[in-house]
Structure 1
């Protein structure tokens, strides 16, 4: 009986000790974090996907799912002991552009939060918890944002790469049917606009711009460098995966 009464206290004490040993991985002030939490779980809770997103396992945490615009092999959030990126797991399903979501929690990596998170997860990054309309009992979707967000505008800028409070239905409906289908399936087609490519593959990690005569060229490189998209005058000219062309 005594052991059962002591167990919660010992668990709390263990977490407190662990938290004391963890650094605080957020530079955002507590009142700013609280304000963002109130805003994005209150008046701005309802959001729509600006990109088609993959739903995968959440690394070592079976109670959650990762929402990412990238293929699992391109996710760069955790490394193994040899420094190689850890794959979160195979794609379980894809959510198309315009999927309606609700933000249920905004969680910053304070020392206490990091101590409570599952070890094999991106514990030191900010997490945005999302629920999908009509899936109340499903595991929460986690959108992981980059670390070291210092100001509210930094947080908003990152969030707006993936979510919008405005339904993009009109923008999606304006796409030609083959392009619309490709975007929903996260595929690319020759002559896609840059915005359609962004919807399908998500935001690039690196953009290089150049001029060739009167033509404006862009090269988009995605995390890990495996995927690249090449544009001429705002239209997709070619795309590669591991150096091999992939456009039909």
Structure 2
């Protein structure tokens, strides 16, 4: 057997270090990953935003933008050395619920992919690349999904919190003009229904439910508990952001 060339021998220790230092961060099988990518960037590529979302910088990668339902203060994708969340950057645009998007690629954090990604990014999370209707052509927009999604159905469940294959036109048309505007601008108005609240603010991290007589109460808490929304019988009655009331 021929001996490795001098240059290849030099690279082998380096490649070994890279492979050890950047272990794969996905537990999904290669077959399932490939199947999801083919489906979601092929026949299932055409989607709509289920939730009004922000476009922000993508942390340390200037070539991409982050698509997120949450304001930068509530994004929990990357921590500093003290364990504090790092903001991706200031809001650059708001994309209303119902906007058409197209999935162009699903990228899982394999060892090689993690190595190739910019260090100052959520490298160990799955990335879904999308094009957003109305955004500049060729712009790389990324929706980041939670890590450790080991089954295709779990992956799709997470994806469907932000995207849907169905148009929201009829659902949005069923809201009052004030609620439609609130959803479009990611604001809140009193008495908006729970579906509209979810479209405006995104899905909460936790929901606390209680009964008061015949009234059904819910408290929606978002990441870091900086934002809270309170509903009675499926309608918004109170909301807070950083301890400040948002409704008259």
- How far apart, in 2, do the equivalents of 1:11 and 1:218 lie? 58
Which ranges of structure 2 fall in alignment gaps of 5 or more residues? 1-6
Q: Which TM-score applies when normalising by structure 1?
A: 0.92
CA spacing shift, 1:49–1:16, aligned 2, 3 Å: farther
Unaligned runs of 5+ in 1: 1-6
Residue matched to 2:157: 157
SS across alignment from 2:172: helix
Quick check: 1:122 aligned with 2:119? no
Matches within 5 A, 1:1-248: 17-133=17-133, 135=135, 137-248=137-248
What secondary structure, in the 3-state scheme, does the structure 2 residue paired with 1:153 have?
helix
Give 1:16 shift: 6.7
Please give the alpha-carbon distance, in whole angstroms, between the structure 1 residues aligned to 2:16 and 2:204. Answer: 39
> Which residue of structure 1 aligns with residue 3 of structure 2?
none
Distance in 2 between the 1:184 and 1:15 partners? Answer: 48
Q: Deviations over 1:79-133 (max 9, x none)?
A: 1112111000000000001111110000111111111110110001111000123
Aligned alpha-carbon RMSD (Å): 2.0
After superposition, give the CA deviation of every residue in 1:180-233 in whole Å (9 maximum; x if it has no partner): 011000000010111100000000000110111111100000011100000001
Structure 1 residue 55 displacement after superposition: 0.3
Cα deviation for residue 175 of structure 1 reads 1.0
The separation in 1 between residues aligned to 2:184 and 2:168, in whole angstroms, is 13
Name the counterpart of 1:4: none
- Structure 2 Cα separation of the partners of residues 136 and 186 of structure 1: 22
Any conservation in 2 of the 1:15–1:116 contact (CA below 8 Å)? no
TM-superposed CA distance for 1:138, in Å, is 3.9
Alpha-carbon distance in 1 for matches of 2:31, 2:105: 16
